[in-house]
Amino acid sequence: MPRDSTNKTATLYRMVMPDHLCPFGLKTKSLLEREGYRVDDHWLETKDEKDSFMAEHAVKTTPQVWIGDDRIGGYEEVRAHLGKSVKSDDETTYQPVLAIFAVGFLMALAISWAAFDTVLTLRTLEWFVAISMTLLGLQKLQDVESFSTMFLNYDLLAQRWVPYGKLYPFGETLAGILMITGALVWISAPVALFIGTVGAVSVFKAVYIDRRELKCACVGGGSNVPLGFISLTENLIMILMGLWMPAKAFLF
């Protein structure tokens, strides 16, 4: 393996084939260059070259990086070597649901500006909740089967009547869309109130009574969002919207 007297030169081996350009190879090269390394970039252009390389160096994956005489490894190992955070597949995070709420809020501001030439009104807050509900429902609709399976871990109604887990994403999305328009409140409000109440009770029991550590299905069945305060807040907001929308019709 090439030797280099400086600690700012890295040797990279990555797959660059006619039918496959390794994304982790590109990410590794970019990361090293951003950290000030000069990258000696070697392409593995055929399957035979890749297999021969892995056999020679007793590695199971590419890309592979050497800094000086030391083999660092692949993309995640390089990140760790450079002091960067390394994400685990099992690591829990609130990022997906926070991203949805942030985008929902910005969309509500945009709609309010287009409709009223101002960014913050009572309707803006209604749109924020309704858009967030719709986006959360959309995440679940991408894979209803996966969502319903994770949902069964904690939802009390789904545990008693399994089909409810598959109906939930459609109900949440429908209620959100109707609340965006402000139409058919007699449908959207009861749906939001019902699923929000069942969800809040289920989350509260699982997290605060049973003390279970579970992942929330709020952004779909493959998420690593922990079941907890944000999940409970989501359901409480749906309850408030379910109560507010019909009350608004009488108040205004």
CB-count exposure of residue 108 (10 Å: 0-12, 13-18, 19+): buried
User: What is the three-state SS of 167-182?
Assistant: HHHHHHHHHHHHHHHC
In this prediction, residue 1 has a pLDDT band, given cuts at 50, 70 and 90, of: very low
pLDDT digits (tens, 9 = 90+) for 24-40: 999 999 999 999 999 99
Check whether 2 has a pLDDT greater than 50: no
Checking phi first, is residue 243 left (phi over 0); if not, alpha (psi -120 to 50) or beta? alpha
Residue in the block written with tokens 């000030």: 36
Q: What is the mean pLDDT of residues 79-84?
A: 91
pLDDT of 88? 63
Residues 196/167, Cβ–Cβ less than 8 Å: no
Per residue in 149-183, pLDDT (tens digit) is 999 999 999 999 999 999 999 999 999 999 999 89
Per residue in 117-132, pLDDT tens? Answer: 988 899 999 999 999 9
Percentage of residues in the chain with pLDDT exceeding 90? 73
For domain 9-81, say whether CATH 3.40.640.10 is its number.
Answer: no
Q: Which residue has the tokens 């991408």?
A: 142
Mean pLDDT, the chain, rounded, equals 90
- pLDDT tens for each residue of 218-231: 888 777 788 888 88
Spatial distance between the Cα atoms of 71 and 74, rounded to a whole number of angstroms = 9
